[in-house]
Amino acid sequence: MTLRTFDIGGDKFASVFQVPSEMNPALGLRAVRLGLARKPIFLTQLRAMIRASAHGQMRVMVPMIASLGEWRQVKALFEQAVAEVDADGHAHSKSIPLGMMVEVPSAAVMADEFAVETEFMSIGTNDLVQYTLAVDRSSPELAYLASFFDPAILRLVRMVIQAGRRHSRPVLVCGAMASDPFAAILLVGMGLRELSMEAAAIPEIREAIANVTVAEAEEAAQVAFMAETATDIERVLHERFAARLEEGQ
């Protein structure tokens, strides 16, 4: 089981937090930034997660990490929370993997450095698309620009996957990209082996991946990376796999 620390702010709200009004909430006090600004509340949540580990295998994931400085603050607070749980005499697992979400370009660019200090990385494609392409994810008028098939997105995703491989760190993808059959095939071809998605999407994605060999997915990924636009990349994938996926339905 993976537990995510609170991802509040931006387009997510909670009445317990009094978040100041901001001109651009997506770039403001949200997610881990809010946690570091409200450390007593953040520590309370971390202690609860640590205590929960006594009841089954789990890992803790922190959203919207943008710098090594932020990550090191989180690690220090996590260690403090473990010490406080121990001091109170509560049981917990001896091993609780602590990982991060890669949702902003800076984290993807620094993936090699993060892979040294984290125990796993989860690529949050929805926010990664928003921050990389400068597209408001909630804007209907700009939805056509917010494509996870954009070459810039794919290159950032590949950077994280490769960094994870170099440092033997698990990498997974979550968000809309993981729920798209063609994107799932592409991700497998890029070397990804763990996808996180809503339960309703699992049967379709399982069927899509089952109808394609790893070698085919890898070859498609190589061709896709030579394309220059999202439209071209989608065309490559549809030409190779659309008919087969339709037959499998």
Q: Buried b / exposed e across 206-230, counting CB within 10 Å, b at 16+?
A: eebbebbeeebbeebbeebbebeeb
Per-residue pLDDT tens for 49-98?
999 999 999 999 999 999 999 999 999 999 999 999 999 999 999 999 99
**Number of residues that this document lists for the chain:** 249
End-to-end CA distance of the chain: give it in Å, rounded.
30
8 pLDDT above the threshold of 90: no
Amino acid at 81: A
Cα 228 from Cα 221, distance rounded (Å):
13
Taking CA 41 as the corner, what is the angle to CA 8 and CA 172, rounded to the nearest 5 degrees? 50
User: Tell me, what's the pLDDT at 95?
Assistant: 94
Residues of the chain with CATH 3.20.20.60: 102-249
User: Tell me, what's the pLDDT at 125?
Assistant: 95
Percentage of residues in the chain with pLDDT exceeding 90? 81
Instruction: Enter the DSSP assignment of 94.
Output: S
12 pLDDT above the threshold of 70: no
Q: Band of the pLDDT at 7, cuts 50, 70, 90? A: confident
User: Tell me, what's the pLDDT at 9?
Assistant: 58
Per-residue pLDDT tens for 138-152?
888 888 899 999 999
Better-predicted residue by pLDDT, 116 or 18: 116
- Asked if 194 and 171 count as a contact pair (C-beta separation under 8 A), the reply is yes
User: Tell me, what's the pLDDT at 10?
Assistant: 54
CATH superfamily for 102-249 is Phosphoenolpyruvate-binding domains (3.20.20.60)
Task: With CA atoms as reference, report the closest residue to 178 among 161, 164, 192, 195.
Answer: 195
Q: How many CB atoms lie within 10 A of CB 127?
A: 22
Per-residue pLDDT tens for 140-196?
888 889 999 999 999 999 999 999 999 999 999 998 999 999 999 999 999 999 999
